[in-house]
Structure 1
Amino acid sequence: MLLFFTLGLLVHFVFFASIFDIYFTSPLVHGMTPQFTPLPPPARRLVLFVADGLRADSLYELDENGNSRAPFIRSIIMHEGSWGISHTRVPTESRPGHVAMIAGFYEDVSAVAKGWKENPVEFDSLFNESKYTWSWGSPDILPMFAKGASGDHVYTYSYDAEREDFGADDATKLDTWVFDKVKDFFHAARNNQSLFSKVNEEKVVFFLHLLGLDTNGHAHRPSSREYKDNIKIVDDRVKEIVSMFQHFYGNDGKTAFIFTSDHGMTDWGSHGAGHPSETLTPLVTWGAGIKYPQKVSAQQFEDEFLKEWRLESWKRQDVNQADIAPLMASLIGVPFPLNSVVGNKILLSILSILKIAQ
């Protein structure tokens, strides 16, 4: 009897240990050959806006008066670019969401379990492949893309961690800090020849991480005035930054813009699971290399969102979140991040957005 019990315990221990061996060991491999899109890069620079914790419906839906909370983004959808849904995966958290969109793969459990702020495994990213990347935002997100970068070409500007107060009355200051610092940066670039030369290189990326919506969503819920007002502030400041880029670069038509989110949020202000409110995030792209809006009479999607958002006449382009990394790489002509899960379906989703595929 004792032998049987001991044998049974040993078998259970082996099965238990195998779970950790399989799921808590990184599947990433190294030494692969870099892959490029065969298409010529249409953009010299890319601007990535990530509104942390922004639900797709919160951005796209109209308010009780029939007005958009984000009129600038709405005008982009109708007049300048492409729009759709970026489908995230569980866990719907900030770190795996950013890894998916910037590195192009879905982070394994070993990485998530070992912490959010450090790199338990080395991985390639769009930022590492760029000539230069400048990023502004949360100290929880930016360092993990700079730590593993080869060479000194990924620059981060973060506020103090104490600013990330999930009980704060005014979390929009996290976003206004980012926008103000970007403006200060370009003002300084005009008077600094070395910096001016760098920002005028090709294959450069500017990353604005906006944590205010996530913080307001946790503190006040997505239906709150604070969350909805934050959307309006972000929209207004994005418009301002786009205008600044156009002025700085003399409207050269070589800037591509991407506006998206790492994950959504439930009605009660949480995220991490697989509810559509957490996994459906917005994706709006415009500028160099992006197709103009396409008017359609019918669309392939069976959900009711198009009518609710009154966007049924503008073609919707849905992608998986990891598709965004090769899309961005294609726009500025750098290799896909080495661990990017690039396949035929992803390439087709990229081609459906790029103007140069027409």
Structure 2
Amino acid sequence: MNKVILVIIDGLRCDVAFKEMRYMVRLTREGLAARFTLKAEMPSLSKPLYETLLTGIPPYISGVTSNEFKGRSTQKSIFHLTKEKGLINAAAAYYWISELYNCYPFDPPLHREQEKEDMPIQFGRFYFEDDYPDSHLFVDGEILRRKYKPDFLLIHPMGVDYFGHLYGGSSREYAKKTSETDGLLSKYIPLWLDDGYQVIVTADHGMDDFGNHGGESSEERDVPLFLVGDRFTSVCYEPPSQLGIAPLICRLLKINPSKAMNSITSPATMG
């Protein structure tokens, strides 16, 4: 069965993830997952890195170089590729994802819930407040999963990023929110694995001690990657950057990467 769930935990820096995400780390210690450190592309900002993770294209090529980017992406994303191959996709995510691939500008009454199989993102639940509870977001994703049985599902919680901006990346509050997100994963990952999904958990960017990101420090650019599922080898070559995530998803789904993806990088090794 070729199905993938990608979880992008917004604003999660690597050192805090490896310390506070006890469930995810335990999976790696038991040989049930692999973990790596990825170096985020520059600038280490959300909208450019959503684009990178979902298209395999760095910001300087995609043109999505800041959070102020307006309009839709010009690149082929995982959503486009799955739709073209007759697969089903879905996303429970921040509204910028909808703006990049479905509808710009985002109009909450029209676009918060999207169910159009002719759109790149076929089934979506999009939130537009940064403090939208992660617990609700994971339920949004689970509703989509159970109702539409997508081959590819994106789940994108914002809580870690929100607390990082409020309190800083080395704060107790940021660590606690990271641990809470790990708890949500511990609830849902077993369900996803039982239903035949391969699970990729990563982040767009990190967070410095002062609650900022966008720069080149390791706190801002080093993000975690966890690979969970029976199609991953116990030892994988570490992808050199975030550019390998989209091609890896294509391989898991057994679809061809875009020509642009192939021109940039090659994916991680898997079984």
Task: Give the corresponding residue for 2:112.
Answer: none
Alpha-carbon distance, 1:282 to partner: 0.5
C-alpha distance in 2 between matches for 1:183 and 1:341: 32
Residue 181 of structure 1: CA displacement?
Answer: 1.7
Tell me the TM-score normalized by structure 1: 0.65
Q: 2:48 matched to which residue of 1? A: 96
Q: Distance in 1 between matches of 2:27 and 2:209?
A: 27
Question: Percent of pairs identical after alignment?
Answer: 19
Q: Which has the larger radius of gyration?
A: 1
Report if the CA contact (8 A) 1:82-1:286 is conserved.
Answer: yes
For the residue of structure 2 that corresponds to 1:176, the secondary structure is: helix
**2:268 aligned to which of 350, 355, 358:** 350
Q: In the alignment, does 2:118 pair up with 1:151?
A: yes
Aligned-pair distance for 1:137? 2.0
Aligned to 2:25: 74
Verify: 1:209 aligned to 2:156, yes or no. yes
Deviation digits for residues 95-144 of structure 1, max 9, x if unmatched?
1111111100112374336933522x521011111112110121123331
SS in 2 for 1:179: helix
Q: SS at the partner of 1:210?
A: coil
Q: Indicate the residue corresponding to 1:312 in structure 2.
A: none
Structure 1 residue aligned with 2:65, among 96, 106, 112?
Answer: 112
Whole-Å Cα distance in 1 between the matches of residues 66 and 214 of structure 2?
Answer: 14
1:336 Cα deviation after fit? 0.8
- 125, 138, 156: which one pairs with 1:179? 138
What letter is aligned with 2:254? G
Corresponding residue to 1:60 among 15, 18, 33? 18
Deviation (angstroms), 1:288: 3.5
3-state SS, counterpart of residue 36 of structure 2: strand
Mean CA deviation greater in 69-78 or 147-156: 147-156
Query: What's the counterpart of residue 332 of structure 1?
Result: 253
2:247 alignment partner AA: P
User: How has the CA–CA distance of structure 1 residues 274 and 242 changed in structure 2, closer, same or farther, with 3 Å as cutoff?
Assistant: same
Distance verdict in 2 for CA 1:235–1:260, change over 3 Å: same
Aligned mates of 2:6, 2:12 — CA distance in 1: 15
- Offset of residue 186 of structure 1: 4.5
Structure 1 regions of 5+ residues with no counterpart? 1-42, 62-68, 165-170, 190-194, 295-314
Question: Runs of 5+ in structure 2 lacking a partner?
Answer: 105-115
Q: Is the 8 A contact 1:52 1:212 kept in 2?
A: yes
